[in-house]
Amino acid sequence: MNISPFSTRYASDEMQYIFSDDNKFRTWRRLWVALARAEMNQGLTNITPDMVAELEAHVDDINYEVAIEREKLVRHDVMEPLNAPFYKETGMKLDIVYLTSNQMVQGSSDSDKIPDVYITSQDSLVKLKDNKMLEPYFSSRTDTALNVFRDDDSYWTGIWIDPVIFAVNKDFFLKHPAFSYTWTEVLTRKSVQLSMTDFIAADMAEDLLMCMAEHFGINETFQLLYQAQGHVVQYGKYLSTPSRMAAMGKCDIGISGLNETLRTRNENMPVTIIYPEDGSPWYLYGAGLSKSSLNPDRGRQFIEWLLNPEGYKKIMEQNQYYYVYVNDEDMKPDVIGGDLRFWDLKKMYFDEGKKDLLNQWADKIRFGGTNN
């Protein structure tokens, strides 16, 4: 069971259990058992007493590692939609092995397959390089990626970018045509109701805090976030929360990733996408050639294919993945004519430094500020 690093500090044992994954999933399973028994008693389905007994026997048998891997397979698999177009163009099929971040950087896996390419976040790619698990690769296509989106020594290159933008409620947008969508204005204007994902809820949310600390400096970042604390109506547990709250009118502006905001907008929800006037932080996914690959040419071919999104961009969008591509020049301005500009970030964040910043934010702002 995963426990927030702040839970033991700010909640009793009883409160921690109430909101724990164990209690949540066991409660769900007991509801499933009750539903199955009710349907059996009413003769609504072909459920037998043995089936109900089997469900009851496994109410507390929760394998989180298997659940995480299964979730990747059936719901959040960005790679699977690429299989068909890649095979159509090259005649090669993708054989995808799913690893946790720890398995990847430690080189451990239940599979006996040796990877040709790693597709993962920038943070994991940096660790793979540090662990000497990547082979340098350089080409004309990797060379066209902006320097901030590739390794200086060519051990990995970025593929997909998810910039942080402002998801603006349509009514707010129409009523305030002169509003200045800068980070300082959005975070410090007390009359603006904000929503953002809790920094401890997801890797991308944590990364936003690190980006702000690098861009503004730690002291200014905490000053901005302290002022924002008083008008943040909700710290979401999910990356989709800020854009959805803005669309539903529960906040004026949601600080959100472009990918999740486009998903919200494409569900015909009234949200306006505005690019920050003073630039955007970003979360990067990239590719690195495995040093242990038995067929490095095959890995190079796949990286080259990924760096030319024309062949698969539409398929990604059909599967609700709306990233910015490092080699895609088809970036249109937002509705007020603003261009998407990226912060110049090195992103050399160490695990201990991340933990320290999160602790400081929790102590000084999240649980020590004015909006507890």
Report the pLDDT averaged over residues 253-263.
96
Q: Which residue has the higher pLDDT, 73 or 112?
A: 112
What was the pLDDT predicted at 47?
A: 76
Under a CB-based contact definition with an 8 Å cutoff, are residues 252 and 194 in contact? yes
Report the distance separating Cα 290 and Cα 114, nearest Å: 9
Residues 193 and 249 grouped into a single domain: yes
Report the distance separating Cα 255 and Cα 81, nearest Å: 28
Residues 295 and 306 grouped into a single domain: yes
Under a CB-based contact definition with an 8 Å cutoff, are residues 209 and 355 in contact? no
What was the pLDDT predicted at 1?
A: 45
- Quick check: is 294 in a domain? yes
- Quick check: is 105 in a domain? yes
| Model confidence at 153: pLDDT above 70 | yes
Q: Which residue has the higher pLDDT, 9 or 300?
A: 300
What was the pLDDT predicted at 184?
A: 98
pLDDT band at 4 (very low <50, low <70, confident <90, very high): low
Give the tens place of pLDDT for each residue, 197-214: 999 888 899 999 999 999
Residues 122 and 200 grouped into a single domain: no
Report the pLDDT averaged over residues 94-107.
74
| Model confidence at 288: pLDDT above 90 | yes
Residues 35 and 98 grouped into a single domain: no
Residues 251 and 146 grouped into a single domain: no
Residues 188 and 238 grouped into a single domain: yes
Q: Which of 47-51, 109-113, 221-225 holds the top average pLDDT?
A: 221-225
Give the tens place of pLDDT for each residue, 295-313: 999 999 999 999 999 889 9
Count structural domains, the chain: 3
In which domain, by residue range, is 21 found? 7-62
Give the tens place of pLDDT for each residue, 34-70: 888 887 888 766 678 888 888 888 878 776 665 555 4
Report the pLDDT averaged over residues 260-275.
94
- Phi/psi for 26 (5° steps) reads -65, -40
Q: How many helices (H) and strands (E) does the chain have?
A: 18, 9
Residues 218 and 276 grouped into a single domain: yes
Residues 54 and 122 grouped into a single domain: no
- Quick check: is 372 in a domain? no
Burial class (CB in 10 A: 0-12, 13-18, 19+), 7: middle
Report the distance separating Cα 361 and Cα 208, nearest Å: 12
Residues 210 and 110 grouped into a single domain: no
Residues 240 and 351 grouped into a single domain: yes
What was the pLDDT predicted at 59?
A: 79
| Model confidence at 9: pLDDT above 70 | no
Residues 225 and 265 grouped into a single domain: yes
Query: 255: domain CATH number?
Result: 3.40.190.10
| Model confidence at 107: pLDDT above 80 | no
- Quick check: is 330 in a domain? no
What was the pLDDT predicted at 344?
A: 96
Tokens 């970042």 appear where? 221
| Model confidence at 371: pLDDT above 70 | no
Considering only CA atoms, give the Rg of the chain. 23
**Alpha helices, DSSP H only, in the chain?**
7-10, 13-18, 21-42, 49-57, 64-74, 83-90, 101-106, 122-130, 140-144, 170-175, 183-188, 203-216, 218-229, 241-247, 258-265, 296-306, 313-318, 351-361
**Angle ∠(61,63,69) on CA atoms, nearest 5:** 150
pLDDT band at 77 (very low <50, low <70, confident <90, very high): low
The pTM score is 0.78
Residues 211 and 261 grouped into a single domain: yes
| Model confidence at 372: pLDDT above 60 | no
pLDDT band at 179 (very low <50, low <70, confident <90, very high): very high
